[in-house]
């Protein structure tokens, strides 16, 4: 095994206001050799599965031999007749060394398994495999949003009229309840109290049980075409939940259950380990037979060592919806496939899409724009165990699980993280008590101490906004240190330190935005300004076609068709998966109206803060019956009456979703991109003047002077969308009429309120000229007070325009006549001087 080391890297971490210096991290702990990772060095005799020259001889160990996990596996395996421990997770007959069918049958005495298991991490067996040591996690995972996808289902149904369940989370991928009650199984008492208060405040987002989402009743489709949504959801949307293995496409290969995150798969789904029984050219296999987890857990592949869970594992699922995974990497999907490869082909598809590189998140960035190394964090370095595994309760949205805020590490310009109260940035409309600092914890959660990497507490572990300690983020005096599971260590730029030391890269902008305009910190998400871009896939054109013999994998039915060996119907090679509604199950296709990435619209998120909002499910639907009849064509369904300003007819089921785009940059949006831009305020690009022709459709053919078609062969170039009189990024009009929904999970979700839009636009008039706030300078203070005393400070746009007009008139006259007056004055002065001399 070669020694592997990483040089010390430099990084400027995210949400830094308008400037910060570079921060150093220590050399990686990977520099030392990794003991026990040589497959030839198994401590047990090479018998059974690992017999020399047999099926699995040479396979890499699931964990390093000298790790506590490996020791426990070997001990349990020895008691079951297999000192190599294979049967502990896989079952089977450890005595058989010749016939694979015999070896892969049954389970030894003392095993919790009843038969041989292929996918040991599968949700359907992991209580008996992973759950032998991690019982709480398997319980939590089965109820987590990654398994139930309750929020995704509710959000999809939201845009299909009668199918909608409103704000309630009723359906999941499986029937599930929570028998241990509403108290989370993980977390501090403060976290549990906080979570239970949220559950009482927002019961729709914390259901006590879910039932399986229905299948489409094709026989009633002509009477209820809206039922096509169930086929759309089951065959297209639900493939990412951990109860199934997922789609066999480049970038989508992954494991099931625990293995979805903890077993590495490369994009190609090809094996690169030492097991001679695994085909190297057959897609769908793990990259190596090793667990990836925390810093102390090392994975060896191709003579390279890494630790932690790579971003690419997360992105195997997080490439749709809000697309935060690919956005974090700097990628956005486009249909082009450029630039060409060295063979002259289009780029290889990833997640069945082509991508262009926009700009990656500063937390991910491996190199800065000047070419210097910056380093990078893993997703798990910020997102805690409750975000990943769930907390044991059923949740209906991601925001119900995510307990972190930017300020948990960066603080604000006025407060260090430990000086902020719990709940700051996570208010959900509640007031927080600024006189009650959250402090730090002296120990991580007991679950982290048992299984994760332990670090020196220094002055204490920082707390999340909901009260749990980070196990990898510590206070060291006034410094914040982050220990990445990748093996790197970082000093986080604390905004209060930057303010005290005046180390902003752009001091004027930083001081204006974070200190003088302090309301930003109280009402705006940090990523509201510091998201460099956001994917905006406007218009989701959904076609559900039941004609002919069209079929598609039903991911819900497949997951519910599972077996004692860990398989589901779709995970078994050569076995046709079940379909949604028999032979006429239907298939789904999607398309877009247009794509944008720059300057997303702003709205209010569920926490009550200003946030970017991006197209969530702007569904424009077409449904085709089994006999080929088009039942619904380009229909925008309506919500129930009275929802989000929709009146008696309901609001359009198009939805803009509040999002944290995961595209953070230390350079914030330009002030005018929010305050002086109609799109940002929700009025649409250039006040919604575009895309006005969809209601009646567009013909492009021979016409007379009246615009009447002359030819009888004309057909729509752009078919009508009857209920789309506006641009898709137009959320509200100047009459304060809401045009589409904003968010479908939390009561506070919505467009910017009218008073906020008015204030922002009014301030935008100032910011177009005044990029800095000159407060504090003596001359400006005198001018301001004098103007106030004389009644010269404008209170309305009209007064401002009048004042600007006077100023421009004065300035123009001064420019024209000033030089002439100056010349006359100089001449007069010369004449006077000469006369005095003559006298």
Tell me the per-residue pLDDT of 729-785, one tens digit each, with 9 for 90 and over. 999 999 999 999 999 999 999 999 999 999 888 765 565 566 555 555 666 667 767
Which uninterrupted H or E stretch holds 463? strand 461-463
| More confident: 723 or 521 | 723
CA quadruple 504, 505, 507, 512: dihedral positive or negative?
A: negative
Residue 565 has pLDDT above 60, yes or no: yes
Average pLDDT over residues 41-50: 71
DSSP 32-78: S--TT--GGG-SS---GGG-TTSTTTTPPPSS-TTSHHHHHHHHHHH
Q: Report the first-to-last Cα separation within the chain, whole angstroms.
A: 103
List pLDDT tens digits, range 338-393: 999 999 999 999 999 999 999 999 999 876 655 554 668 999 999 988 889 999 99
**What's the pLDDT score for residue 761?**
85
Compute the distance between CA of residue 92 and CA of residue 361 in angstroms, rounded to an integer.
46
Nearest alpha carbon to residue 293 among 67, 511, 560, 522: 67
Given pLDDT bands bounded at 50, 70 and 90, which one contains residue 536? very high
List pLDDT tens digits, range 91-106: 999 888 888 899 999 9
**What's the pLDDT score for residue 511?**
79
Q: Reduced to 3 states, what is the DSSP secondary structure of residue 613?
A: strand
Instruction: Report CA-CA distances (Å) from 208 to 136, 150, 169, 253, 367.
Output: 18, 12, 10, 32, 46
8-state DSSP, 682: T
Compute the distance between CA of residue 22 and CA of residue 198 in angstroms, rounded to an integer.
38
Q: Which residues is 612 bridged to in the sheet?
A: 602
**What's the pLDDT score for residue 768?**
56
CA atoms within 13 A on the CB side of 555: 26
DSSP 176-231: EE-TT-SS-SSS-HHHHHHHHHHHHH-GGGS-SEEEEPPPP-GGGTTT-GGGHHHH
**What's the pLDDT score for residue 770?**
61
Residue 659: φ, ψ to 5°? -150, 150
Compute the distance between CA of residue 368 and CA of residue 10 in angstroms, rounded to an integer.
9
List pLDDT tens digits, range 669-713: 988 889 889 999 999 999 999 999 999 999 999 999 999 999 999
Instruction: Name the burial class of residue 347, with classes exposed (0-12), middle (13-18) and buried (19+) by CB atoms within 10 angstroms of its CB.
Output: middle
**What's the pLDDT score for residue 719?**
96
Taking each continuous run of H as one helix and of E as one strand, the counts in the chain are 25, 25
- The pair of structure tokens assigned to 312 is 């690419």
**What's the pLDDT score for residue 368?**
61
| More confident: 45 or 830 | 830
List pLDDT tens digits, range 640-650: 999 999 999 99
**What's the pLDDT score for residue 15?**
31
Which spans in 228-307 are helix H? Answer: 228-232, 259-262
- 821 contact partners, CB below 8 Å, separation of at least 6: none
- The pair of structure tokens assigned to 86 is 């294979």
- The pair of structure tokens assigned to 370 is 């000047």
Burial annotation 505-518 (CB, 10 A radius, 16+ → b, else e): bbbebbbbbbbeee
3-state secondary structure 725-791: CCCCCECECCCCCECCEECCCCCCCEECCHHHHHHHHHHHHHHCCCCCCCCCCHHHHHHHHHHHHCC
My answer on whether omega of the bond before 782 falls inside 30° of 0, hence cis, is no
List pLDDT tens digits, range 596-634: 999 999 999 999 999 999 999 899 999 999 999 999 999
Instruction: Name the burial class of residue 272, with classes exposed (0-12), middle (13-18) and buried (19+) by CB atoms within 10 angstroms of its CB.
Output: middle
> Percentage of the chain with pLDDT > 70?
89
Given pLDDT bands bounded at 50, 70 and 90, which one contains residue 141? very high
**What's the pLDDT score for residue 28?**
34
List pLDDT tens digits, range 15-45: 323 333 223 333 333 333 444 444 445 566 6
Compute the distance between CA of residue 331 and CA of residue 323 in angstroms, rounded to an integer.
9
Beta strands in 117-195 (DSSP E): 171-172, 176-177
Instruction: Report CA-CA distances (Å) from 717 to 466, 698, 701.
Output: 53, 6, 9
Nearest alpha carbon to residue 154 among 641, 633, 616, 545: 616
Beta-carbon count within 10 A of 733 CB: 15
- The pair of structure tokens assigned to 454 is 């332990």
Long-range CB contacts for residues 92-97, cutoff 8 Å, separation at least 24? 92/49, 92/116, 94/47, 94/48, 94/49, 95/48, 96/48, 97/47, 97/48, 97/51, 97/54
Give CA angle at 513 (512, 515), nearest 5°: 70
pTM of the model: 0.88
Given pLDDT bands bounded at 50, 70 and 90, which one contains residue 512? confident
- The pair of structure tokens assigned to 196 is 């239970």
List pLDDT tens digits, range 211-237: 999 999 999 999 999 999 999 999 999
Compute the distance between CA of residue 646 and CA of residue 38 in angstroms, rounded to an integer.
65
Compute the distance between CA of residue 429 and CA of residue 340 in angstroms, rounded to an integer.
50
- The pair of structure tokens assigned to 581 is 């509604």
Compute the distance between CA of residue 309 and CA of residue 311 in angstroms, rounded to an integer.
7
- The pair of structure tokens assigned to 9 is 């890297």
- Helices 754-767 and 797-838 cross at an angle (nearest 10°) of 20
Nearest alpha carbon to residue 153 among 610, 749, 555: 555
């Amino acid at each position: 095994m070669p020694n592997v080391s990483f040089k010390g890297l430099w990084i400027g971490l995210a949400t830094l206001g308008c400037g910060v210096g570079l921060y150093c991290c220590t050399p990686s702990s990977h520099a030392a050799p990794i003991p026990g990772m040589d497959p030839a060095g198994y401590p047990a005799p090479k018998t059974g599965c690992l017999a020399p020259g047999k099926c699995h001889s040479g396979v890499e160990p699931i964990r390093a031999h000298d790790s506590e996990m490996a020791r426990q596996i070997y001990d349990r395996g020895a008691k079951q007749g297999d000192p190599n421990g294979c049967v502990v997770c896989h079952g089977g007959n450890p005595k058989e060394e010749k016939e694979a069918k015999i070896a892969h049958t049954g389970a030894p005495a003392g095993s919790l398994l009843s038969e041989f298991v292929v996918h040991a991490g599968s949700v359907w067996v992991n209580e008996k495999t992973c759950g032998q040591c991690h019982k709480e996690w398997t319980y939590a995972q089965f109820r987590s949003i990654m398994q139930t996808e309750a929020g995704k289902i509710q959000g999809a149904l939201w845009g299909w009229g009668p199918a909608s369940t409103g704000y309630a989370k009723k359906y999941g991928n499986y029937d599930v309840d929570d028998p241990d009650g509403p108290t989370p199984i993980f977390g501090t008492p403060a976290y549990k109290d906080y979570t239970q208060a949220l559950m009482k405040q927002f019961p729709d987002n914390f259901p006590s049980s879910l039932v399986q989402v229905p299948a489409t009743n094709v026989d009633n489709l002509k009477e209820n075409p809206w039922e096509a949504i169930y086929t759309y959801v089951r065959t297209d949307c639900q493939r990412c939940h951990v109860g199934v293995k997922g789609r066999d496409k480049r970038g989508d290969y992954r494991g099931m259950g625990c293995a979805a995150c903890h077993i590495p798969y490369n994009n190609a789904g090809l094996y690169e380990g030492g097991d001679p029984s695994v085909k190297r050219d057959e897609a769908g296999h793990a990259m190596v037979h090793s667990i990836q987890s925390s810093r102390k857990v090392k994975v060896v592949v191709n003579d390279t060592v890494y630790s932690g869970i790579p971003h690419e594992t997360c992105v195997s699922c997080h490439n749709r919806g809000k697309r935060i995974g690919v956005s974090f990497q700097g990628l956005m999907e486009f249909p082009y496939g450029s630039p060409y490869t060295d063979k002259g082909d289009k780029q290889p598809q990833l997640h069945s899409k082509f991508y262009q590189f926009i700009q990656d998140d500063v937390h991910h960035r491996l190199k800065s724009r000047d070419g210097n190394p910056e380093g990078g964090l893993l997703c798990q370095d910020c997102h805690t165990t409750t975000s990943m595994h769930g907390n044991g309760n059923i949740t209906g949205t991601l925001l119900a699980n995510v307990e972190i805020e930017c300020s948990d590490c960066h603080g604000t310009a006025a407060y260090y993280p430990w000086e902020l109260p719990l709940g700051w940035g996570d208010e959900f409309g509640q007031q927080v008590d600024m006189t009650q600092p959250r402090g730090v914890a002296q120990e991580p959660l007991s679950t982290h101490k048992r299984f994760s990497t332990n670090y020196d507490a220094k002055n204490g572990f920082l707390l999340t906004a909901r009260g749990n300690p980070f196990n990898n983020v510590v206070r060291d005096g006034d410094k914040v240190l982050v220990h990445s599971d990748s093996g790197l260590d970082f000093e986080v730029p604390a905004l209060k330190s930057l303010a005290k030391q005046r180390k902003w890269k752009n001091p004027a902008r930083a001081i204006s935005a974070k200190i003088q305009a302090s309301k930003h910190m109280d009402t705006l998400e940090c990523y509201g300004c510091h998201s460099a871009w956001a994917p905006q896939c406007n218009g989701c054109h959904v076609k559900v076609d039941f004609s002919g013999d069209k079929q598609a994998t039903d991911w819900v039915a497949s997951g519910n068709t599972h077996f004692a060996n860990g398989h589901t119907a779709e995970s078994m090679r050569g076995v046709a998966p079940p379909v949604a509604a028999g032979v006429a199950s239907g298939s789904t296709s999607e398309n877009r109206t247009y794509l944008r990435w720059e300057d997303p619209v702003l709205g209010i998120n569920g926490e009550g803060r200003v946030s970017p909002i991006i197209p969530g499910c702007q569904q424009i639907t077409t449904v085709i019956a089994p006999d080929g009849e088009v039942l619904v064509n380009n229909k925008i369904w309506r919500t129930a009456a009275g929802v989000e300003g929709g009146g008696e007819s309901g609001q359009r089921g198009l939805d803009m979703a509040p999002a944290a785009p995961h595209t953070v940059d230390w350079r914030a949006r330009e002030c005018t991109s929010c305050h002086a831009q109609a799109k940002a305020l929700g009025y649409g690009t250039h006040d919604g003047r575009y895309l006005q022709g969809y209601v009646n459709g567009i013909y492009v053919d021979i016409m007379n002077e009246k615009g009447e078609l002359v030819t009888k062969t004309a057909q729509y170039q752009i078919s009508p969308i009857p209920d789309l009189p506006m641009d898709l990024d137009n959320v509200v009009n100047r009459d304060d009429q809401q045009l589409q929904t904003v968010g479908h999970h939390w009561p506070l979700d919505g467009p910017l309120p009218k008073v906020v839009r008015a204030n922002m636009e009014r301030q935008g008039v100032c910011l177009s000229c005044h990029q800095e706030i000159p407060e504090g300078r003596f001359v400006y203070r005198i001018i301001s007070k004098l103007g106030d005393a004389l009644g010269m400070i404008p209170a309305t746009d009209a007064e401002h325009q009048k004042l600007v007009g006077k100023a421009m008139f004065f300035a123009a006259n001064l420019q024209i006549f000033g030089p002439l007056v100056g010349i006359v004055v100089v001449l007069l002065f010369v004449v006077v001087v000469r006369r005095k001399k003559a006298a």
